[in-house]
Structure 1
Amino acid sequence: MPLDIFDYIIVGAGSAGCVLADRLSASGRHKVLLIEAGGSDRRFWIKVPLGYGKTFNDARVNWRYMAQPDPGLNGRRAYWPRGRVVGGSSSINAMAYLRGLPQDFDDWERAGANGWNWDNVRRTYEEIETQTGPEGDIGNGPLVVSDVGTRMHPFSEHFLSAARQMGWAISPNLNGSDAEGMTRLRGTLRAGRRWSAADAFLRPALKRGNLRLVSAALVERVLLEGARATGVRYRQGGAITTVHARREVILSAGAINSPQLLQLSGIGPAHLLKQHGIKIVHDLQQVGQGLQDHLGLSHYYRANAETLNNRLGSWRGQMVAGLQYLLTRKGPLSLPVNQISGFVRSHESIPTADMQIYCNPMSYVTDTLGNTGIDPEPGFLLCAQPCRPTSRGHIRIASANPDTAPEIQPNSLATEADRQLAVRASHILRSLAQTPAIRAVTQDRLTPDIVSMSDEEMLENFRSRASTVFHPTCTCRMGTDPSNSVLDSSLRVHGITGLRVADASAFPNITSGNTNAPVMMLAARGAALILEDTK
């Protein structure tokens, strides 16, 4: 077979692309090409679990997007980090692993994603995971999900005590039979190091002779002959290369870059393509539409007990922690800062959990450009995130030049339902801050103090301070037809043969929690659908 012809071409070696590359090359019968815009993930701060504070604003591994001024957030522009490196955002994220709530996926099926109900996706989760913990290993999949609860900072026990005082259940594992409650977060870690999608799926697969990885290569467009995808054109250094797919091209570039690439290739809203002088191949109005993301509201507190700030709030402390990690792979650098989280109901009358809570034993500040500073004094963070927002934004190309970042408009708090959720999230934070367990370790509630706010002030506080928690989804969503979606329930682009999208953009609606787990599940299930069609 010629070097430039493959059975499958996958664009993006992120959480989804690594899974697809593994699954599609596993039989040895198919020749697979995986193309990644970023470079190698073999970097110290990628492998160190707490190192995501260093990669959060590192242009060498991060697209470092900025959203458009958001009317719902008082015109603020949010910083949107996305992984531009082998492993994608699974190489720079906070490693929290939560499947989502069962109703999330039943809702997917109701939205037109036939076959994506909870019973089906649960089986895929179980297939790809190995969950480690005191009870022993569960499963034998390549994705290691570790229970590190016994190594968490002792201050985190105060959060669990507060949760009990709020009447919330404490679950040993929200990725098991429990759907709601608070938990010691499990994460994609192994032996004190990050265990990304590249570690779990791609590295073993690259030992096969039928899988090729091309990195530091920007795909400029999908090649089309009529209504069929036939390959892609990419730029690596100063060279332009064209490669062809005998079977399919699969976009796994993420919720921002996959719709951007479709639009650059002439698939998208005709008026947008015409505006930028792009030849219209297929007028598909929903490409880039439907963007959903989670907003979290964090409040910070000065503590009267030792927190991670005591270890990491000074250069000397950071050096000691770094030496401890290098010698033992233990200590504060061996764990993510997000330690306690879970799904709760904002009111007892609500049938299912509608809020995700985060509790961190450290206080820090992140500015609008993504720069993070750790408070030198002991402190902690309480955060509430509405699980299922109803507002939808968009992704649109700003130029026909592939190097130009697309326009990201989150359109936050555009619905009355979301504004009410913002106030309910604020009430939860106020109640949590006033539990005896939290009051006992609070030296001071830092400004602004949510305890004294009215509902109107809470909404304004949310508008002025809430920020993305980096879960963009739904911009090439599955659905019933082109009027409401980009893909069918097998991830195929409506009206185009040989072209699929498999990443967070394919979600019909956002899941309740962290999105890395459902992205890898979607890719594994998507690979099975692709191989079934091949048969």
Structure 2
Amino acid sequence: MNAKSSLAPSDPEFDYIIVGAGSAGCVLANRLSANGKHSVLLLEAGPKDSNIWIHVPLGYGKLFKEKSVNWMYQTEPEPELKGRQVFQPRGKTLGGSSSINGLLYVRGQHEDYDRWRQHGNAGWGYDDVLPYFKKAENQARGADQYHGTGGPLPVSNMVVTDPLSKAFMDAAVETGLPYNPDFNGATQEGVGLFQTTTRNGRRASTAVAYLGPARARGNLKVETEALGQRVLFEGRRAVGVEYRQGTNVRRARARKEVVLSSGAYNSPQLLQLSGVGPADLLRKHGIDVVLDAQGVGHDLQDHMQVRIVMRCSQKITLNDTVNNPLRRTLAGARYALFRKGWLTIAAGTAGAFFKTNPRLASPDIQVHFLPFSTDKMGERLHDFSGFTASVCQLRPESRGSLRIKSADPTVPPEIRINYMSTETDRSTNVEAIKILRKILNAPALKPFVVSEYDPGAKVSTDAEILDYCRERGSTIYHPTSTCRMGNDALAVVDQRLKVRGLEGLRVVDGSVMPDLVSGNTNAPIIMIAEKASDMILQDAN
């Protein structure tokens, strides 16, 4: 397969071509087209975001296994998880994963970004990135030193305040955690309610918040059902993109830059398909090597979650509503009329951040609390009253990889995350479960608890808890770092997100994170795209 450019004079030309209309791509499309000076082509492999469940917050449960808007990836068998494959849903529609995610607005810790800077990524410390978090934000609570108003992205308070979520917060305080009204403020530690990317009870994906207001601009062209097949090069300069739309293969020329915003799985896949990646891998699949870049697809990281399910003594959970036809109908009507009630809840109502060891400088565990329960996310809720709390290790040491399995862009890549492959990761998960159990057994929750359903009393020793983590641990949907930023031999992009060793090509999405942030990844990815937009426009001048 020839990696050289096959552009024709008749191919349409744009200043910028953005591949992927997800959390980052929609931000870039808005910002790069805003001044009217630059023409922008935005390519999205999936359809328009017209599925009704995209716009209903609780609809993420319906989109979990909805092939039309979801890449539905799977990992390879995970060695430390008893050889299980772990399902990896990723958004495949306008808005990308911000159209199917759990809607939580969490930035991570100040220390995360200072660590990025200390690793040689100038301009990425907390003080550098805070203005971009604020620029993006339209914070319901108003502006302060940590928050902005007037930005495209609505950030709202949790509307549902069910008795279980309140009892969980009270229980966490009883075990010694401070109450924290703002996980994205001065400090992250403590327990409180999550904020969400919603507006008036509807999901605010980046397709809604950023792309919507920009769609009418004459200098922005959006193509859906357009699968990026490869970046086209002349020498070491990216000059365009080849993409498939239906049965047609099309090409477009980029005058200034090609920007990959296809996420931690699809951006490294597209680079490898285009001849940028480990040379031995590319040659194996008959792809001409443009640049032998060993780091492309290297250093994959993800957050793992392990859940505890409790049987509830009162019929106040979402399970009880979903399993009762009358209550279900009333909940639907309440949402349709008032945009309130159960259908507005995100993938976590209350949350907590704590340390498994007092010697740690900052929390290493995040808890998501949910007033419902199920055996597997995206499957039907239990027929009993139940609620769930999960632990997520924030800074796992384990690293994995992403490698193409074929030169065919429609063949899913090989995803290896290597969850729990270090001793620290294993022991941290065990400690986290023990601390979460203390919270779930605290006095404030006693009136609501019948018993622990899963894993239950049969799991009590450290060895049994570790075995349960191996048996039931799964993703919390935060893959990053496969095209990471840095100055070392395996870094793929520099601190301006330009692909090292090439011209006219950047990567802007979660794959550029030097390592995982201590929290959900959507807000940081939007920040990265806001900052990248400024850098791209500066370089254009």
TM-score normalised per structure 1: 0.96
Aligned pair 1:499/2:508, yes or no? Answer: no
Measured in 2, the distance between the counterparts of 1:168 and 1:269 equals 46
Deviation, 1:312, is 1.9
The answer on whether the counterparts of 1:158 and 1:437 sit within 8 Å (CA) in structure 2 is yes
Matched residue, 2:114: 106
Return the offset for 1:54. Answer: 0.5
Query: Aligned letter for 1:267?
Result: V
Task: Give the share of equivalent positions with the same residue, in percent.
Answer: 45
Q: 1:284-323 residue pairs with structure 2 within 5 A?
A: 284-305=293-314, 306-323=316-333
CA distance in 1, matches of 2:347, 2:408: 38
Alignment of 1:307-456 (within 5 A): 307-366=317-376, 371-449=378-456, 452-456=459-463
What is the CA deviation profile of residues 449-506 of structure 1, one whole-angstrom value per residue up to 9, with x for unaligned ones?
268511111111111111100000000000113x131010110111110000000000
Match of 2:6 in 1: none
Q: What is the alpha-carbon distance in structure 2 between the residues aligned to residue 212 and residue 156 of structure 1?
A: 44
Q: Which residue of 2 aligns with 1:154?
A: 163
User: Contact conserved, 1:430 with 1:451, CA < 8 A, in 2?
Assistant: no
User: Matches of residues 71-90 of structure 1 in structure 2 within 5 Å?
Assistant: 71-90=79-98
Tell me whether 370-379 or 14-23 shows the greater mean CA deviation: 370-379
Match in the other structure for 2:480: 473
- Tell me whether 1:5 sits opposite 2:13 in the alignment: yes
| Structure 1 counterpart of 2:149 | 139
2:230 is equivalent to residue 221 of structure 1: yes
Deviation digits for residues 332-381 of structure 1 (CA, Å, limit 9, x no counterpart): 11222410113211222222111101111111222xxx641111221111
Q: Which runs of 5+ in 1 are unaligned?
A: none
Structure 2 partner of 1:22:
30
Please give the root-mean-square deviation of Cα atoms over the aligned residues, in Å: 1.7
Aligned residue number for residue 530 of structure 2: 524
- Do the aligned partners of 2:15 and 2:254 also contact (CA within 8 Å) in 1? yes
Q: SS where residue 119 of structure 1 aligns?
A: helix
1:153–1:308 Cα contact (<8 Å) kept: no
Change (3 A) 1:478 1:450: farther
The alpha carbon displacement at 1:48 in A equals 0.6
Deviations 1:79-127 (A, max 9, x none): 1000000000000001000011000111111223221000011111011
Counterpart contact for 1:450–1:458, Cα < 8 Å: no
Give, in whole Å, the separation in 2 of the partners of 1:169 and 1:496: 49
Q: Which amino acid aligns with 1:406?
A: P
- Preserved CA contact (<8 Å) 1:39 1:86: yes
* CA distance, structure 1, for counterparts of residue 330 and residue 448 of structure 2: 26
Relative distance call for 1:178 and 1:14 in structure 2 (3 A) is same
Given the superposition, is the C-alpha separation of residues 2 and 176 from structure 1 closer, same or farther in structure 2, using an over 3 Å criterion?
farther
What's the CA shift string for 1:282-306, capped at 9, x where partnerless? Answer: 1000000000000011010101122
**Deviation by residue 1:492-524 (Cα, 9 ceiling, x = unmatched):** 111110000000000000001100000000000
Which amino acid letter does the alignment assign opposite residue 373 of structure 2?
Answer: S
Matched, 1:234 2:240: no
C-alpha displacement at 1:447, in angstroms?
Answer: 3.6
Residues 313 and 112 of structure 1, relative CA distance in 2, 3 Å threshold: farther
Question: Deviation of residue 270 (structure 1)?
Answer: 0.6
Counterparts of 1:179-194 in structure 2, within 5 Å, are: 179-194=188-203
| 1:176 Cα deviation after fit | 2.3
Task: Give the letter aligned to residue 507 of structure 1.
Answer: M
Three-state SS of the structure 2 residue aligned to 1:231 is strand
1:337 and 1:492, CA in 2 relative to 1: closer, same or farther beyond 3 A?
closer
| SS at 1:417 equivalent | helix
CA distance in 2, matches of 1:529, 1:84: 27
Q: Which residue of 2 aligns with 1:116?
A: 124
Distance in 1, matches of 2:268 and 2:351, equals 31
User: Displacement of 1:429 after TM fit?
Assistant: 2.0
**Distance in 1 between the 2:474 and 2:283 partners?**
33
Three-state SS of the structure 2 residue aligned to 1:446 is strand
Q: Superposition pairs for residues 503-514 of structure 1, below 5 Å?
A: 503-514=509-520
Provide the C-alpha distance between the structure 1 equivalents of 2:164 and 2:452, rounded to a whole number of angstroms. 17
Contact 1:132 1:138 survives alignment (8 Å): no
Q: Which moved more, 1:81-90 or 1:354-363?
A: 354-363
- Checking the alignment, whether the CA contact within 8 Å between 2:276 and 2:289 is kept in structure 1 is yes
In structure 2, distance between residues paired with 1:336 and 1:416? 32
1-side partners of 2:277 and 2:324: how far apart? Answer: 50
TM-score calculated relative to the size of structure 2: 0.95
Q: Is the 8 A contact 1:38 1:217 kept in 2?
A: yes
